[in-house]
Structure 1
Amino acid sequence: MMRPSRPKRRRPQIHAGTPVWLFDLDNTLHHASHAIFPAINAAMTQYIVDTLQVERDEANRLRTGYTQRYGAALLGLTRHHPVDPHDFLKYVHTFPDLRAMLRSERGLKRLVDALPGRKIVLTNAPEVYAMDVLRELGIERLFERVIAIEHMRDRRLWRAKPDHAMLRRAMRDAHVRLADAVLVEDTRSHLKNYRRLGIRTVWIVGHLPRTVRADGTRARLPGTGRPHYVDRRIRSLKSLRLGNRPEGRSVP
């Protein structure tokens, strides 16, 4: 006897009107994997080696482990080691020629400006770096505010995405209802955690690094499907324009 099929649960749509767009910065508004992420990772590892006096392999283990556990390596370092957070952030986000390292979509300013509603940057990066990137991209005036990692702190701890309490507080301060927010982000764990709060989610994959096969060819992007907690999956910010549909399964 065949079991009756369950009706498919409808996913919320991203409607025209007045959404509040919460844009991640790195690998969302620009292609950080091209040059900036490798430089940041190398600088983080070197800082940990110099500050904690550990071997490079151990420094890499701490960096990646804390990033996966807390959402940002800084949080693990400040909670478990005598690290000056401001010194760390400055060291790993200072570049001699930021402009030469940046890559972004053609027509980025026009694409972001055309979106209806309010626009906010929500990033685990420090404010000075975020503002420098937005300025170099020519889009700093399109955002009403930048919520950087310094603004995510509470009285006791440093916090970062995907912390729930931090986001609720940040949205209250910005006078944003969670139901109106649309998070555009490359990191799936952030999308997954914040989808539970009722926020609509857009996973952008066009800037994610591809793996290289043994024969030197580039493999497909990781996670080519659309997870259940993602309302839209896009390769490019062009797909956020009204009337466009994301890659993969359509949003009903």
Structure 2
Amino acid sequence: MTIARARQRRPQRAARTPVWLFDLDNTLHGASHAIFPAINQAMTQYIVDALGVSHDVANQLRTSYTHRYGAALLGLTRHHPVDPHDFLKVVHTFPDLRAMLVAERGLARILAALPGRKIVLTNAPEAYARAVLAELGIARLFERVIAIEHMRTRRGWRAKPDRAMLRAMLRRAGASLADAILIEDTRGHLKRYRQLGIQTVWITGHLPERAPAMRAGGRSGSSGRPHYVDHRVRSLKSLHAGLRSGRLRQTE
């Protein structure tokens, strides 16, 4: 038997199935339009009421804890007597969520066309995440929602970009780091998780106008794509178009 014939008979390695890890806010919908301002206002007011501090102090605590821990909730539970479940419910409840949502046209069709498994990975609470997915008409496209309640361990609350948490969540989902593709608007999360070897996609279309130019702890090339970002896209539509053409398109 010739070497060439032996190679032909060698079984082909099965193609790997991608596991898409979608952030929720400013990734699957435009939270900066109305939802983020409402959440920020509600968080600050909750801190004022719970801790008896001024509005300025509450606002400073909210922003500093978000930057330090990835979610304001983590700082509040570690340093103050705050009921985490009450906090999450109060600041993520909206009387007319549908009117606040902004999303890409044809979002469900775009997501359905992406090959592989799809998981939502968000620092938001589960009830809010599922309500958003339901209003957008895309809930059925995701096999699971990993919300901040699911990231909690016996040692306390966790959130993105905690690396041990991500490893644990992927194990629970029966997925490997090698197959994971994280789609995020937050570059700090992309940077930290890229160190685990997963693919990273930075989506910028829902970001405030100045956000892409802000510092994120890494040098960018002429395309504005930091070294820890494998692909930069403006929208999920452009992500899908890049896959169809055989490469992910990077947009300015």
Q: After superposition, where does 1:224-235 map in structure 2 within 5 Å?
A: 225-235=224-234
CA shift in 2, pair 1:205/1:84, >3 Å:
same
- The answer on whether the counterparts of 2:16 and 2:179 sit within 8 Å (CA) in structure 1 is no
C-alpha distance in 2 between matches for 1:102 and 1:71:
23
After TM superposition, the runs of 4+ consecutive aligned structure 1 residues lying more than 3 A away are none
- Counterpart for residue 7 of structure 2: none
User: Could you list the per-position Cα deviations for residues 178-212 of structure 1 after superposition, in whole angstroms to 9, with x for gaps in the alignment?
Assistant: 0100000000000000000011000000000124x
TM-score when normalising by structure 2: 0.87
Give the counterpart of 1:247 among 226, 229, 250.
Answer: 250
Whether 1:47 and 2:38 are equivalent positions in the alignment is no
Q: Which of the pair is proportionally richer in helix?
A: 2
- The answer on whether the counterparts of 1:232 and 1:246 sit within 8 Å (CA) in structure 2 is yes
- Counterpart for residue 187 of structure 2: 188
| 1:169 alignment partner, SS class | helix
Whether 1:198 and 2:197 are equivalent positions in the alignment is yes
C-alpha distance in 2 between matches for 1:184 and 1:125:
16
Structure 2 unaligned regions, length at least 5: 1-14, 215-222
| 2:135 alignment partner, SS class | helix
- Counterpart for residue 120 of structure 1: 119
C-alpha distance in 2 between matches for 1:189 and 1:240:
20
Structure 1 unaligned regions, length at least 5: 1-15, 212-219
- The answer on whether the counterparts of 2:234 and 2:251 sit within 8 Å (CA) in structure 1 is no
C-alpha distance in 2 between matches for 1:240 and 1:205:
11
- The answer on whether the counterparts of 2:44 and 2:58 sit within 8 Å (CA) in structure 1 is yes
| 1:233 alignment partner, SS class | strand
Q: Structure with the greater relative contact order (CA < 8 A, sep ≥ 6): 1 or 2?
A: 1
Q: After superposition, where does 1:5-20 map in structure 2 within 5 Å?
A: 18-20=17-19
- The answer on whether the counterparts of 1:40 and 1:92 sit within 8 Å (CA) in structure 2 is yes
| 1:176 alignment partner, SS class | coil
C-alpha distance in 1 between matches for 2:21 and 2:142:
10
TM-score when normalising by structure 1: 0.87
- The answer on whether the counterparts of 2:148 and 2:159 sit within 8 Å (CA) in structure 1 is yes
C-alpha distance in 1 between matches for 2:212 and 2:226:
14
- Counterpart for residue 68 of structure 1: 67
Q: How many aligned residue pairs are there?
A: 226
C-alpha distance in 1 between matches for 2:237 and 2:213:
21
Output the amino acid matched with 2:193. Answer: Y
Output the amino acid matched with 1:246. Answer: R
| 2:105 alignment partner, SS class | coil
When the two chains are superposed, the root-mean-square deviation of aligned CA atoms in Å is: 1.4
- Counterpart for residue 222 of structure 1: 213
* Identity across the alignment (%): 75
C-alpha distance in 1 between matches for 2:24 and 2:74:
19
Shift of 1:221: 4.4
Shift of 1:152: 0.1
